[in-house]
Structure 1
Amino acid sequence: MKRIFSILLVLALLCSSLYAVPAYAVGDGNVDGGGGGMGDGTSTNSWTPGNEGVRVTVVRASDHASVTTPIDLTNKKPTNIRLHFGKVSKLSYSRGSSLSPSGQSYSFLNPAQSLPRIISTNGSNNIAAIKSYFTDEQVIRSISGLVGMDFDTLISGEYKLLLEPIAYYKFEGVMIATTATEAAMYDEQVNGLLRKRMVSLSHKNLPLAMFLEVADLSYPAWSGSRSKAASNADIKAALGLGIVRFKDMPGESPEVSVYDYEYRVNTEVITAITVSGGQSDPDHPVSAIFYVNGRSYRVSNIYYPDGDSQLAWIRWTTPSTPQQTTITVSVSGGGSSSKATININIVDLDKNLPPNPVADDRNDSFRKSAVPNNPQQTSASWTVWRPWWQEHWVWHSDWNWYSDGDGSGHWEDDGEWVDEGWWEFDLDRYQASLSASMAIQPDDKSPTASGKTMKSGYGINQTVSTRVSTNQSSAVTGAQNAVTYFPEFGYQTYWRLLERMSSGYNSRFEFQKNPYSTYNRRTHFSPIWFPDGKYEPYTWLIDCWSPAGMLSINLTDSVTIRDNLWSDWHIAPQKPN
């Protein structure tokens, strides 16, 4: 019997080896998870474990753009879904896409290789199985076919898979399909009712089914509770997602993306580039050298996770004369280098002063023009990757035999603890905002002005006050230039570059002294022919620079024209002595 049993066992092993299909991992899964118990359901608000899926989106690593329409994979056949929000990824929602119900039937795909359990109900997530599934070569080949992308292109290192758990559940009597992000956004739309009815699913087990171990695609690694219901803000910012990245491209060099700039003379500016590709951590640092007008500026220790990118910038002052020039940038790291050129146009705005106004000026064909609306950006944000070392101590044994001197001996482990840790990255977020006000009023030398009403032909004074706030002052300048345009010139042809009276983040601007003013006043003369009504100069406040670009504001203010200065003149006989 023992011999027969041995033969059967050998046959069983042979059969299993003949029919086993080897599984090869082609990706690296960045997925972790948590969860907990489920509450009691009702007839109108309930979820059955296993009613789940995963939304898969192919994302380009360099700019985090979705390059395929998301697909929903599930082992179920959820044909009874009556409310869903289309195929929108978390990245799209993070970039401002709104949540809106889809008018089409819910579409899904049943993969040939069944999904592992995704959503936990007992806090013991199936993360190892999820990672294994979504890094399996056959699964990735299947996904490439489903999204219509060449397999070798998909795994080239230029793309990543964004994974989002989906739940199918009944809410207020209606079968609904949502990702964790959609559930959080929908809860906000229904004023917290989803959380009230379905908190164990919508705000705990669904979002905690997947989150990142390491920051990626501008999403942070989750460090909060793995067993408690999360807030809508935390779900949208960091939960309900996993990422699969593929092999590093061999011999990849750092890449640099540049932007062309127009600057003003004598202006402190920020010039930025985006560095990506290669590998950049404290073991393989990337640096950039900017060559500007015969000077070099080095930016060292540029760090970013593999597959991501980082802004790098310099702060410098433009020359005093207008010119066209170039900035050459050399980026190096990991034994490779790249170069790029930035085209720079430096202009002088103090060249088109209005002509000398005279008392007999006329403009019978004048028609008022619309006030301009130049590009305006009052806030900016940027991020800086900060690496930190994740310790992982491993004992390395080194067994040696020691003689006891009497023919016997003993073994001793002379090994040591070795830190086999790795670099992880946190994302520090920075911002800047610009606010300003503009005020004009009749010049004090206008004898008949009253409040903000004056006669044409007299001058106006102007003040622009600015305020810049930021949490990274080294990377942001104050507003440095303000240009005022006037309605009598159709807001073009002539303008006045204002003089900066105070610098810094709280700066102030006024008109330069007018060479045509008898009293050398900081004034602008309204034309004597200007018709009664609103006289509205326009100012473009510019040159508040940040790594994310220039902040600027459109400003206007007005006075009221009533009559003209000739009415203040009269002829009378000279009084006798």
Structure 2
Amino acid sequence: MKRILSIFMVLTLLLTALLPLTAYAEGEGNIDHGGGGMGSGTDENFWNPGDEGVRVTVVRAGDHALVTTPVDFTNQSPDNIQAHFGKVSKISYTNGFSLTPGTQQYTYVNPGQAIPRIITSGSGNANIEVIKSYFTDELVIRYIADITGFNYDTLINGDYKILLEPVVYMTFQGVRIALTATEAALYDQQLDGGLRGVMVSLSHKNLPLAMFLETPDLGYPAWSGSRTSAASNTDIISSLGLGIVRFSEAEPPQVSGYDYTYRVNTQVITSVTVSGGQADPDHPVTVRFTIGGQTYMVNNVYYPEGDSQLAWVRWTTPATPQTMTINVSVAGRGRASQGTITANIVDLSGHDPPNPVADDRNDAYSKPGVPSNAQKTSATWGVWRPWWQEYWVWHSTGDGSGCWCDHGWWEFDWNSYSASLLASMSVKPDDKDPTAAGKTMKSGYGINQTVAAQVSTSQSSAVTGAQTAVTYFPEFQYQSYWRLLDRTGGGYSAKFEFAPNQYSTYNRRTYFTPIWLPDGSYTPYTYLMDCWTPQGMLSMNLTDSVTISGNLWSDWHIAPVKP
């Protein structure tokens, strides 16, 4: 590697030529930021705004292992760097790698698409939405794959993530130096505060606050501290100076290690099994759920000796993605199956497909198989109802008198309940399609879709209606993009449709098919879910098709005007 490898220069030129094309977001950015004004520098210690970069590393999501060598992206030409610490990621330092001065020449890459401002300063603020948009752009991610030598399709399959770390180029004690936020904190520890003492606004505020996590990831926490004040070395090393780009698979996100995965703003049922001894009206059991600072009480939980009983609460998830810990405690003779429950709250919005345009092409398209997620359309559960079995015994006093005493006991009846989910999906050409006939249409026009879901149950207080429907499309191999449907009818007879399309002239609830689709059947796939019961979630896989015959170009006719 020279300062910039020749192959990198070739790739840069190629990407520069491609930049006028529309590029679409591929990943999801787990990045936030803060910062503020800067202090005044000196001849020996100073930094020029914009003298910055980003260290990029591909990480395996499962075990947090680094699978590529870190690469530093920058718009600058930092050829005069005199000191640096090599290409080491935050994960390596977290795992015990010691801070070691680099003796080799500092290397970097100038991407063809310039990176946005990363570090806020007195002369201008970084824009976190622009940063997210850049690092989740498909062309940029393809470029990262090329530069790091990692296969693009493998990178975006959901098993890998991109770790981002802001890099600064500054002059410290008269020496031109390159370092990440983590390296700045470790270096300051070695200097007993010597770096913080002269460069605090940069090294301990604007550099580490340039990127931090919105939600926990790769073993690092979300940052909840000050966004405008200098941070401690400990906080920087543990929590600051990093962003993450992650990728989803076709199915709605499911995270192993969680007891429940819920969607935001959703009514859900959370349950535990209580057992131990016998719980009856003489020895009642109370189960307490503490969720998001609120306590839910389930009183009068009963069950016979040697058996158990489900106890559950119905609640609404928060509006923002997060990991929640639900604490469960039992008062009485029983014990709960779990003392704590971990719930992963996810947001499926924000993955709408890009708008297809008239000159789109996909010559390599092959029709994919329709996916199938876990499906459960019915559930049964029950509640023990105690009743007293009388057993009267005469107790004599020996003088001819006495009394009858009830020496009875508690018996239990099992009251069984159930729930079932039925649903259908209908796809048809949009009513504004001028040449559609029945379910046959030309590519390039829109489709309408309706999902109808019917929930039947014998215990309505313990069951929610279906609340979420997500539709995936074959042109994206049923991956990467989806439409989160609007619920236009609620309750136990729910209805779902496409949300109004921002690209529709008439603001219709439509989805535009790409013009390059080959003739034949076109089959959107919908996963219907969030019908919750004490025995878990009911869900269904749904499909329907239209037939593509020709494309909208055949509806256009150009001819000279007759004189």
TM-score (norm 1): 0.52
Distance 1:498 1:505 in 2: 17
Following TM superposition, by how much is the alpha carbon of 1:332 offset from its aligned partner in structure 2, in angstroms?
1.9
- Alignment deviations for residues 72-123 of structure 1 (CA, whole Å, 9 cap, x no partner): xxxxxxxxxxxxxxxxxxxxxxxxxxxxxxxxxxxxxxxxxxxxxxxxxxxx
Distance 2:461 2:562 in 1: 69
2:445 maps to: 458
Distance 2:258 2:303 in 1: 20
Contact 2:280 2:386 in 1 (8 A): yes
Distance 1:548 1:492 in 2: 29
Whose Rg is larger?
Answer: 1
1:343 maps to: 342
Distance 2:296 2:546 in 1: 48
Distance 2:361 2:373 in 1: 29
Distance 1:338 1:367 in 2: 48
Distance 2:360 2:308 in 1: 59
1:417 maps to: 404
Following TM superposition, by how much is the alpha carbon of 1:574 offset from its aligned partner in structure 2, in angstroms?
2.5
Q: Call closer, same or farther: CA 1:338–1:261 in 2, change over 3 Å.
A: closer
SS class of match (1:531): coil
Contact 2:421 2:539 in 1 (8 A): yes
1:254 maps to: none
Contact 2:274 2:335 in 1 (8 A): no
Following TM superposition, by how much is the alpha carbon of 1:397 offset from its aligned partner in structure 2, in angstroms?
1.3
Q: Call closer, same or farther: CA 1:337–1:369 in 2, change over 3 Å.
A: closer
Contact 2:291 2:325 in 1 (8 A): yes
- Identity, % of aligned positions: 69
Q: Call closer, same or farther: CA 1:562–1:541 in 2, change over 3 Å.
A: same
Following TM superposition, by how much is the alpha carbon of 1:575 offset from its aligned partner in structure 2, in angstroms?
4.2
Following TM superposition, by how much is the alpha carbon of 1:269 offset from its aligned partner in structure 2, in angstroms?
0.5
Distance 2:324 2:502 in 1: 33
- Alignment deviations for residues 470-515 of structure 1 (CA, whole Å, 9 cap, x no partner): 1101101100010000000001100001000111111111000011
2:532 maps to: 545
1:303 maps to: 302
Residue type of the partner of 2:264?
Answer: V
1:395 maps to: 394
- Alignment deviations for residues 369-397 of structure 1 (CA, whole Å, 9 cap, x no partner): 11011000010000111111000011111
Distance 1:314 1:483 in 2: 26
Distance 2:379 2:321 in 1: 27
Distance 2:482 2:522 in 1: 15
2:496 maps to: 509
Residue type of the partner of 2:345?
Answer: I
Distance 1:337 1:363 in 2: 55
1:554 maps to: 541
Asked if residue 381 in structure 1 is aligned to residue 380 in structure 2, the reply is yes
Q: Call closer, same or farther: CA 1:501–1:395 in 2, change over 3 Å.
A: same
Q: Call closer, same or farther: CA 1:374–1:337 in 2, change over 3 Å.
A: closer
2:89 maps to: none
Contact 2:272 2:337 in 1 (8 A): no
Q: Call closer, same or farther: CA 1:263–1:383 in 2, change over 3 Å.
A: same
Following TM superposition, by how much is the alpha carbon of 1:279 offset from its aligned partner in structure 2, in angstroms?
2.2
Distance 2:364 2:337 in 1: 58
- Alignment deviations for residues 35-66 of structure 1 (CA, whole Å, 9 cap, x no partner): xxxxxxxxxxxxxxxxxxxxxxxxxxxxxxxx
Contact 1:332 1:338 in 2 (8 A): no
Distance 1:484 1:444 in 2: 20
Q: Call closer, same or farther: CA 1:318–1:505 in 2, change over 3 Å.
A: same
Asked if residue 447 in structure 1 is aligned to residue 434 in structure 2, the reply is yes
Q: Call closer, same or farther: CA 1:377–1:339 in 2, change over 3 Å.
A: closer
SS class of match (2:493): coil
TM-score (norm 2): 0.53
Distance 1:394 1:336 in 2: 35
Distance 1:572 1:321 in 2: 55
Distance 1:491 1:567 in 2: 28
Contact 1:377 1:552 in 2 (8 A): yes
For residue 437 of structure 1, the aligned residue among 411, 416, 424 is 424
SS class of match (1:539): strand
Contact 2:430 2:510 in 1 (8 A): yes
- Alignment deviations for residues 246-281 of structure 1 (CA, whole Å, 9 cap, x no partner): xxxxxxxxxxxx981000011100001011113211
2:313 maps to: 314
Distance 1:525 1:456 in 2: 8
Distance 2:412 2:278 in 1: 13
Following TM superposition, by how much is the alpha carbon of 1:561 offset from its aligned partner in structure 2, in angstroms?
0.3
Following TM superposition, by how much is the alpha carbon of 1:335 offset from its aligned partner in structure 2, in angstroms?
8.9
Residue type of the partner of 1:388?
Answer: W
Contact 1:457 1:525 in 2 (8 A): yes
2:81 maps to: none
Contact 1:331 1:339 in 2 (8 A): no
- Alignment deviations for residues 203-248 of structure 1 (CA, whole Å, 9 cap, x no partner): xxxxxxxxxxxxxxxxxxxxxxxxxxxxxxxxxxxxxxxxxxxxxx
Alignment of 1:33-44 (within 5 A): none
Q: How large is the Cα RMSD of the aligned pairs?
A: 1.6
Q: Call closer, same or farther: CA 1:494–1:282 in 2, change over 3 Å.
A: same
SS class of match (2:542): strand
Distance 1:453 1:365 in 2: 24
Distance 1:443 1:398 in 2: 90
The gaps in structure 1 that reach 5 residues or longer are: 1-257, 400-410
Alignment of 1:113-128 (within 5 A): none
How many residue pairs get matched?
307
Q: After the TM superposition, list the runs of 4 or more consecutive aligned residues in structure 1 that deviate by more than 2 angstroms.
A: 334-339
1:261 maps to: 260
Q: Call closer, same or farther: CA 1:487–1:432 in 2, change over 3 Å.
A: same
1:497 maps to: 484
Distance 2:392 2:495 in 1: 58
Residue type of the partner of 2:493?
Answer: N
Q: Call closer, same or farther: CA 1:347–1:309 in 2, change over 3 Å.
A: same
Contact 2:272 2:338 in 1 (8 A): no
Contact 2:328 2:336 in 1 (8 A): no
SS class of match (1:359): coil
Asked if residue 330 in structure 1 is aligned to residue 317 in structure 2, the reply is no
- Alignment deviations for residues 164-202 of structure 1 (CA, whole Å, 9 cap, x no partner): xxxxxxxxxxxxxxxxxxxxxxxxxxxxxxxxxxxxxxx
Following TM superposition, by how much is the alpha carbon of 1:552 offset from its aligned partner in structure 2, in angstroms?
0.5
Contact 1:331 1:338 in 2 (8 A): no
Following TM superposition, by how much is the alpha carbon of 1:339 offset from its aligned partner in structure 2, in angstroms?
6.4
- Alignment deviations for residues 329-365 of structure 1 (CA, whole Å, 9 cap, x no partner): 0012139889611010011111200011111000011
